[in-house]
A and B are shown apart, each in its own frame.
Chain A
Amino acid sequence: MKLKNIRADFVVYARNFLRTRSSIFFALLFPVIFLLVFGAIFSGNQSKIPVYVQNLDNGSPLASSFMTAVNSSGVLSVVNVPQNVNIKDYISQNSISTALVIPQAFSEDIASHQKVNISFYYNPAQSTSQEAEQAIAFVVQDFNFRLDNATPLVLTSTNTVSSSGTQYIDYLVPGLIGLSILTSGVFSLTYLVNNYRKEKIFRQLSLTPLTRGEWLVSKFVWNLIIALISVFLMITVGDLVFGANVSFNLLILPIIFFGVFGFVSLGIIAGAISKSEETASVIGNIITFPMMFLSGTFFPVALMPVYLQEFARFLPLYYVIDGMNSVTLFSNMGSYVVDLAVTAAISIAFFMIALKVFSWRER
C-alpha cells in the first residue's frame, strides 16, 4: 500500500463526491433530519418523571401504600428496583438520576412511632430530578399527615448522584449515529462498486498501479470523515434541540472507526456479488433492513421481546450502538471493551471477504 496512491485516489473521490450535491445531502443532512423527526415525535410525551424505588420492606401494606402515593402524585412514575442490588451501583450502571430506598424496618418503625429515613438519590444538575425532589417532599408531607401524628415520622435523607437520567433522545442519538454509519457505508459503496463496474471505471483503474486495497482504504477514509462530521452534527443537534446528554466522548471514536470500516467493506461485498444495479439495491436493503430496526437504532434493544434481543446479538450494528451507549449512557467499560472487540473483529472479517470477492477484472 502506498500512501501517495491512497491520497491521490482520496482526492479524486472526495472531489467527485463534493461536486454531487445529492450525495452531500444524503450523507450529512439526512441523518440530522431523521434525528429531528424522531426526536420530535418521541421526546414530547415523556410527561412523568421515572423514580426508581427499591422497596426493602417488601410485602408490608404501609410500604406499598407509600409507593402508591408516590406513583399517584401525577408527576412521578415508580419503576421497581430489585431488592438484592446495591442501589449506588445500580444507579450508575443504569444511568438513573432519581431513586428512593424504602428501609427494611419501614412499617415496623412507624408502628412503634420511631422516625424512619427514606434515602433519596437525585442529580441536582438535572431539572427533572429537581422537580422530582419537590414532588417527593410533597408526597412525604402528605403521607405524614395521613399517619395522623403530631410529629412527622417519615423523613427523607437526600443524596446527590452524578448520573443523569436517560431520556429517549439519549438512546436515539447513538442509535441514529449507528444507523447513518450503516446506511452511508453500505448503500454508497454498493452503488459505487456497481456503477464503477458498469461504467467501466474499474477497468480504467486496473490499468494504473493503484491497487484494490489502496482504493478500498481511500473509500474508507472518506467515509470515516463523513461519519465524523455527521456524528458531530448529530450530537450537537441532539444537545441543542432536545437537550440530549450524549457527550463528545473520545471513546466512541474507535467504535465509529471500526463501524465505518466494517460497513464500507460490507457495501463492497454486496456490490461485488450483485450482477446488476437492481440486485445491488435489493442486496443492500436485505443487509441493512434488519439491522436498521433491531439493533437499538430507534429504541433501546432492552425494550424488545427476549427472542429479538437474542437475534440482535447477531447484528454487527448492535455492537456499534451498544458500544456507544456503554460510554455515553452507562459508563460501563466492561461492556464497551467487549463491544469494541466484536466490532473490530467483524470489520476485519468483512474487509478480508471484500478483498476476496471484489475484483476489477472481468472474466
Chain B
Amino acid sequence: MAIFVMQRRLHASDGKSVREKGRFIINAEGLVKHYGSIKAVDGISIKIRKGEVYSLLGPNGAGKTTTVEMLEGLRKPDHGRINVLGLDPFADADVLHRREGIIPQGFNFIEKITAKEAIGYYATLFGVKNRAKELLELTNLTDVADVNFMDLSGGQKQKVGLCLALSNDPEILFLDEPTVGLDPQARRNIQDVIRRLKSEKRTIILTTHYLEEAEELADRVAIINHGKIMAEGTPQEIIREYGDGMKLSVSAAPVLAKAFDGRKGMSARYDSGRVIVALESDAKISKAIRIIENSGQEWSNLKLNNETLEDVFLSLVGKKEKE
C-alpha cells in the first residue's frame, strides 16, 4: 500500500478554519433545472459542512448528476441559489475550480495521452507540483502509467479521473460515481483513498449506486428521486426514521411465507431462496422463530439483522414508484 501524504497548502484563512468547522461551506437552496420539458431537479436544497462526506443516492435519472453539476458550476440552475465557499459556482467557476477536485460522471480524456502525461498537464495548468508518481501509486496505476488513455480499461480510466481530481490538492471533491465499473478490490482501493481524504478534512460530495459504500463512508446521505430529496440525514437516522425495524430471514421454500399471513406486527416475503420476515419490534423475534418451527417446513441458516440503508432505499424509492 502506497504511502500517501497530501500536502495542505497554508491558506491565509487557516486560522479561521477552527471557527469555521461545522459551518456550511456549500449552501444550495431551491434548485430547479429543466432539460426542455423534463424537470430533472425539482426544488432541491442542500447544506454541506466543511470536512463532511455527503452522499447523493437515487435511482437512474433521479437528478443526482444534474444537482452535482450545478454545485460544480458546470450548469446554471433555472431557479435557486448556490453558495460554495462564499462564491457563486457558475459565475466564479474559475476561482472555485482551483480549490475543487471533480470527477464528472462518464469521465473521459484525450485519447492518446497517458495517465502520467495527463497528471503533468494538470499540474502545469494548476501551477502545482507534479505529483504523478505519488498519485499513480495511490491508485495502483503505476504499471499502466505510460499507456494511452484510450487503451486503459474502464476502471483504470476512472482511476485516472481520480488522479486528475486530486492533482490540485482540492479542499472540496465532487465524485460522481467514482467506483462505477471497478472490480471489488479496486473499489476498496478507491474507498480507502476517500477515507484518507476525509481524514484530511476535505469535503467530499459522493454520488454512488453502492449503498453499502455510502453507508460506510458518508456522514450524511440524501436519497433523491424524481428531482426531489426523499430523505436526508446520517445513514442511522434514515434507517431509524424510514426503516421498519428488525429483519429475520431463513433459507426455506416460498410457502413458509404463508405461515405469516395475518400475523400482527410481522410480514414475510420470499426473495431468491430466502423467506424474509420484517418485524415491528425486537419483541416479535421469539414469536417469529416459533411460527417457523411450527410450520413444519424445512429451514436452515437463520439470520437476524437490522435493516440496511439499501432496504430503506428500496422501500423509499419503490414507494414513490407505486404512488
Interface residues of A (CB under 8 A from B): 4-5, 7-9, 11-12, 15-16, 19-20, 199-201, 203-204, 206-210, 361-363
Contact = CB atoms under 8 A, between A and B. Distances in A.
Contacts of B121: 8-9, 11-12
A19 B108 contact: no
A20 B150 CA distance: 12
B124 interface: yes
B108 A200 contact: yes
A12 B148 contact: no
A187 B225 CA distance: 43
B113 A12 contact: yes
Interface stretch (B93-101, B226-234, B248-256): B93-101
B283 interface: no
A8 B124 contact: yes
Interface string B107-120: 11111110001100
A201 B109 contact: yes
Contact of A15 (B100, B107, B117): B117
B113 A15 contact: yes
B75 interface: yes
B112 A19 contact: yes
Nearest to A211: B94
A4 B164 CA distance: 18
A145 B260 CA distance: 132
Contacts of A4: 124, 127
Given A199-B108, A209-B94, 9 more contacts: A4-B124, A7-B124, A11-B121, A12-B113, A19-B112, A20-B112, A201-B109, A203-B74, A206-B74
B104 interface: yes
A361 B112 contact: no
Contacts of A199: 108
List the 9 closest A-B pairs by CB distance, nearest first: A19-B112, A8-B124, A208-B125, A16-B112, A200-B108, A210-B125, A207-B102, A12-B121, A199-B108
A363 B122 CA distance: 25
A345 to B, nearest CB: 31
30 contacts: A8-B125, A12-B110, A12-B117, A15-B112, A15-B113, A16-B111, A16-B112, A19-B112, A20-B112, A200-B106, A200-B107, A201-B109, A204-B107, A207-B72, A207-B97, A207-B100, A207-B102, A207-B104, A208-B122, A208-B126, A209-B98, A209-B125, A209-B127, A210-B125, A361-B74, A361-B75, A362-B74, A362-B75, A363-B75, A363-B76
B104 A200 contact: yes
Nearest to A17: B112
Nearest to A362: B75
Contacts of A363: 75-76
A209 B75 CA distance: 17
Given A12-B117, A361-B74, A204 B109 contact: yes
A204 B109 CA distance: 7
A195 B102 CA distance: 21
Given A4-B124, A361-B74, A209 B97 contact: yes
B74 to A, nearest CB: 7
Contacts of A208: 97, 122, 125-126
Which of B100, B110, B122, B148 has the most CB atoms of chain A within a 10 A radius of its CB?
A: B110
B92 to A, nearest CB: 13
B294 to A, nearest CB: 60
Contacts of A209: 94, 97-98, 125-127
Contacts of A361: 74-75
A200 B126 CA distance: 20
A206 B124 contact: no
Nearest to A4: B124
B20 to A, nearest CB: 25
B122 to A, nearest CB: 6
Q: In this complex, which of A5, A209, A362 has the most chain B Cβ atoms within 10 angstroms of its Cβ? A: A209
A7 B97 CA distance: 21
Which of A12, A361, A363 has the most chain B CB within a 10 Å cutoff?
A: A12
A83 B255 CA distance: 114
A16 B121 CA distance: 13
Contacts of A200: 104, 106-108
Contact of B104 (A11, A203, A210): A203
Interface string B173-189: 00000000000000000
Contacts of B93: 206
A199 B126 CA distance: 22
Contacts of B148: 19
A210 B124 CA distance: 10
Contacts of A206: 74, 93, 97
A98 B106 CA distance: 68
Nearest to B101: A207
Interface string B57-95: 000000000000000101110000000000000000110
A204 B74 contact: no
Contacts of A12: 110, 113, 117-118, 121
Contacts of B100: 207
A207 B174 CA distance: 12
